[in-house]
Structure 1
Amino acid sequence: MLSVTGLQAAYGASQVLHDVELQVKDGEVVTLLGRNGMGKTTTVRSIMGLVSPRAGRVSFSGQEVQGRPPERIARLGIGLVPEGRQVFPSLTVRENLVATAANRLHRPDPWVLETVYELFPRLKERAGQSAGTLSGGEQQMLAVGRALMTNPRLLILDEATEGLAPVIRTEIWHCIAHLKQAGQSILLIDKNLAVLKRLADRHYIIEKGRTVWSGNAADLERDAARVHGYVGL
């Protein structure tokens, strides 16, 4: 589904990505791990067209997408939950959810308001409330719900549980587990390795803008010392 090979990217004269490689297959949950500042978010931004790659290939559903405008990439079926949530603060919860809603891939069981509310009952309780007045955890639920309302083939979560209270973090993990069971393909950035080992199918580690390790949960256990050295967890 998603294939990234030899990806390089920069901000002006500062090169951030030197050689990133990763793949997400249909129905997989794949993690992108690494310490802060190693290039994880830049990788996501490059996939989404928010940063123009200097070199390498980004292929999604058999189409090369590097260099395309972000809106065209998103319309191919990628839903993004960005770092920092980035909800529309002046819009209500309901307005945030319907603002970019679509079913371009004609899913027979699309995500709609009712199904998002079933996943996150708290959003239904606050449907008429301005998003800017929500707690951080509620905003993260809203960001996930908004991405699901685009009915993506691939859902990308950048820092899925960063800075959230433990009870909200647990709720987000339950949500991701539910999505995995339903067959949703997910690329996930987070630091909670204990949960990720149980939840994800495969893992990639980025160090200084390069993919330096990849493997499944068994590989992660076997290479625990090496992984710890890369991610500091």
Structure 2
Amino acid sequence: MLFDVSFEVNEGELVTLMGRNGMGKTTTIRAIMGLVPPAGGRIEIGGHETTGFSPERVARLGVGLVPEGRQVFPTLTVRENLVATAANRSGRSDPWTLEKVYGLFPRLRERTSQIAGTLSGGEQQMLAVGRALMTNPHLLILDEATEGLAPVIRLEIWNCITRLRALGQSILLIDKNLAVLKKLADRHYIIEKGHVVWSGTGTDLTRDHDKVHSYVGV
């Protein structure tokens, strides 16, 4: 249940949602994507009120989701996954293409004809990010993009996110890595039992470290 969740992601910003498991982060994402109908409040994307929109309508407005658990199409090849939902939702003059995604994740090029369900967890995460980028979203949402990955793969995902931020991609990111997030993100929001209980910049996060850790620490 969500009770008092209010935040914004401006163009070109990287904003984080943090908090312990079960506190409402993924429910918030599902509400934004139209997967959970809100009982009240207002959701606005790109100047359009989207409260009550279907997931398809939200996606067509230019919202790309990398869901928790990756959820690639397991019986399709890497290439088929990437092109299955490809579109230029944001109308970019220099859109993401297969070649650009392969440039970002060379391992996907090596496995272009491999069935996605046979990839490692880290490779599936790269594929999930690449698939979302192929929709050329205005807003990219990453739900626990580094959770459960080997350190070397986690670093590769962080490098990817850093590069996307430098390119001006608007990003909403759910993660728990305070050391990385405080350097990378513009603003942070912490959710506790369906409420936003803290928000601030990376500087604020450093200043309020003990308070923040009490909300997000294990």
Structure 2 length as normaliser, TM-score? 0.99
1:97 counterpart = 2:92: no
CA distance in 1 between counterparts of 2:89 and 2:199 reads: 32
> Contact 2:89–2:138 at 8 Å: present in 1 too?
no
Q: CA deviation at 1:160?
A: 1.0
Q: CA deviation at 1:32?
A: 0.1
Determine the structure 1 residue equivalent to 2:103: 118
1:149-175 per-residue CA deviation (whole Å, 9 max, x = no partner) reads 000010000001000000000000000
Determine the structure 1 residue equivalent to 2:163: 178
CA distance in 2 between counterparts of 1:66 and 1:168 reads: 36
| Residue correspondences, number | 218
1:40-80 per-residue CA deviation (whole Å, 9 max, x = no partner) reads 00000000000000111110111110101100001101000
1:40 counterpart = 2:25: yes
CA distance in 2 between counterparts of 1:105 and 1:212 reads: 32
Aligned counterpart in structure 1 of residue 55 of structure 2, from 47, 55, 70: 70
Determine the structure 2 residue equivalent to 1:190: 175
In structure 1, the gaps of 5 or more residues are 1-15
Determine the structure 2 residue equivalent to 1:211: 196
Q: CA deviation at 1:104?
A: 3.0
1:192-213 per-residue CA deviation (whole Å, 9 max, x = no partner) reads 1111111101000000000111
SS at match of 2:2: strand
Aligned counterpart in structure 2 of residue 199 of structure 1, from 184, 187, 196: 184
CA distance in 2 between counterparts of 1:133 and 1:103 reads: 28
Root mean square deviation of aligned Cα: 0.7
After the TM superposition, which of the residue ranges 105-114 and 122-131 deviates more from structure 2? 105-114
CA distance in 2 between counterparts of 1:34 and 1:215 reads: 14
SS at match of 1:19: coil
CA distance in 2 between counterparts of 1:49 and 1:29 reads: 21
CA distance in 1 between counterparts of 2:89 and 2:139 reads: 13
> How much identity, in percent, do the aligned residues show?
74
CA distance in 1 between counterparts of 2:12 and 2:189 reads: 17
SS at match of 2:131: helix
More contact order relative to length (CA 8 Å, sep ≥ 6): 2
Structure with a larger share of its residues in strand: 1
Q: CA deviation at 1:105?
A: 2.7
Alignment of 1:69-88 (within 5 A): 69-88=54-73
Determine the structure 2 residue equivalent to 1:58: 43
In structure 2, the gaps of 5 or more residues are none
Q: CA deviation at 1:225?
A: 1.2
Q: CA deviation at 1:191?
A: 1.2
CA distance in 2 between counterparts of 1:138 and 1:57 reads: 36
> Contact 2:189–2:199 at 8 Å: present in 1 too?
yes
SS at match of 1:108: coil
Determine the structure 2 residue equivalent to 1:106: 91
Determine the structure 2 residue equivalent to 1:11: none
